[in-house]
Structure 1
């Protein structure tokens, strides 16, 4: 059994299979697990460059989050953001948001700690059988965005090909801005409405709990779409937009832009996962709201369904 993708959906899927006694291998094309729960270190300090935070209202996922909190891996961050618009800004309340002192990627690494994950090992083809890169397997779970899964699938795998074709995704750029000092009023995070560049700005020092003078700005899909070929060129206009928004006089001393071609699903599948008669499973937040919780639950549910099918067939 092969799981493609070591984001939170992939490791949740693999975890269920391992607990059920199903032999599994997780293949990740990147250098580290995490997927869109991405963190990058700058001068030794982690900064979240993917998902901005997580929320939990599903009882099972809430239990996972509480376990992370007990282990010191997450902290309550805030339930209040600012919302910027044409009429200025105001505070808006929402769900409790959780942050990770060591970066959100550390949560995926914790879930993957006892799993057989192979990094720098992309899958190139999935054929009927299923056969993954020429190797027969009992089933395969594709826990990556549909547009990344589509090129892997043989057209003869009609159900899976149709399911990934139903997914739609929007891009974003996450821009890390480190300033010489904290020159802004406390705001934790800000939704930016009807802006040509910005969609969300987070105070990463507040989020991390170390008060570092670091902001992370997430752009609109429209702005990102025009800079996917050369994301680095987006750094200056994003920095200027953030400085204008917050009234910051000093330029950032570090600017890093991370490209997310498939940042957020805008249309996806029915239910919490896809599993067809050909042994091809699909999981991720395209099966639900674009949330960390949705991706975890999708992977968990697919893992359980695969374990039940494989153990029934094998038993």
Structure 2
């Protein structure tokens, strides 16, 4: 695929990349979004198993930014999102207790459906691997107006030419933690009533969600997320971690039955270890922009705002 010299190339079709592209399209700036995966969504990923989606990336999202609330209202009007719960449980050495928090939102068709809706008419090309981003700027040797890298820093570092000193500095400063997400389908719903549970000080788990409740279909499906230390030991062969994750979930929830199936997904860069600090995005004089949740709290809202702000900054520079 050739690149128009006047186009901005957005690499990554997660929520940050799509939000960036939406702003560029609204400003009349030509844009191309390239996604190496088969579908858009990024870490708001949904995996279809046995005919239903399960969220294997972000477990939910919360809303505090008024502008993001307007986007969420559009999703709600389209029937794509619903309020889920403001109460989780916490499991620790002292047992189980309720934890109140902000309203958490869920998507009956999976969080990826929200990215697809947000993208709208934005031109997204999937199965498109970008190899290099060079001075000029240029993507894979083809000049363009600017480049927006919407992905974890360690992935962006593999693309950025070292001659792009500012972008290199920023991506190398980002540190991400791994995680494994396991989708466990059981013969029936035998667990105590809960929406989601934080698991504290555990060697394997840090979060378990009732995906049947989250999705609203009552399916006997749980999704468990592991702590980084456990994930790091199983990145080479994540499927081998399935028995340990299943046993940990059954132990925490007191489940008598084994899971009928367990699917494990590897996230090498699940969430930033710490915020980069400063602005909600990076844009340097070389025309290289960076966006994502590494520029704020590890939240869906943070990633959206980062991409939105970068898109506006690029539009202002190029108009």
Flag whether TM exceeds 0.5 (same fold). yes
Cα distance in 2 for partners of 1:267, 1:79 equals: 25
| 4+ long deviations beyond 3 Å | none
Give runs of aligned pairs for residues 97-176 of structure 1, distance below 5 A.
97-176=104-183
CA contact (8 A) 2:135 2:164 kept: yes
CA contact (8 A) 2:275 2:297 kept: no
Q: Residue 292 of structure 2: which of 284, 298, 304 is its match?
A: 284
SS in 2 for 1:267: coil
Number of the residue aligned with 1:302 = 310
1:262-315 Cα shifts (integer Å, max 9, x gaps): 00001242210000000000000000000000000000000000000011xxxx
Cα distance, 1:254 vs. partner? 1.0
CA contact (8 A) 1:2 1:137 kept: yes
SS in 2 for 1:286: helix
Cα distance in 2 for partners of 1:268, 1:187 equals: 31
SS in 1 for 2:293: coil
Give runs of aligned pairs for residues 261-272 of structure 1, distance below 5 A.
261-269=268-276, 270-272=278-280
SS in 1 for 2:294: coil
Q: Does 1:81 align with 2:81?
A: no
Number of the residue aligned with 1:213 = 220
Q: Residue 232 of structure 2: which of 190, 213, 225 is its match?
A: 225
Give runs of aligned pairs for residues 176-255 of structure 1, distance below 5 A.
176-255=183-262
CA contact (8 A) 2:271 2:298 kept: yes
Which stretch shifts more, 25-34 or 66-75?
66-75
1:210-255 Cα shifts (integer Å, max 9, x gaps): 1100000000000000000000001000000000111111100110
Number of the residue aligned with 2:35 = 28
Cα distance in 2 for partners of 1:13, 1:232 equals: 35
Cα distance in 2 for partners of 1:154, 1:182 equals: 51
CA contact (8 A) 2:238 2:265 kept: yes
1:176-201 Cα shifts (integer Å, max 9, x gaps): 00001000121100000000000000
Give runs of aligned pairs for residues 35-54 of structure 1, distance below 5 A.
35-54=42-61
Cα distance, 1:140 vs. partner? 0.2
1:87-108 Cα shifts (integer Å, max 9, x gaps): 1110010000000000000000
Cα distance, 1:42 vs. partner? 1.0
May I ask how many residue pairs the two structures share in their alignment?
311
Number of the residue aligned with 1:91 = 98
Cα distance in 1 for partners of 2:274, 2:209 equals: 26
> Where does the alignment leave 5 or more consecutive residues of structure 1 unmatched?
none
> Where does the alignment leave 5 or more consecutive residues of structure 2 unmatched?
1-7
1:16-44 Cα shifts (integer Å, max 9, x gaps): 00000000000000000000000011121
CA contact (8 A) 1:166 1:267 kept: no
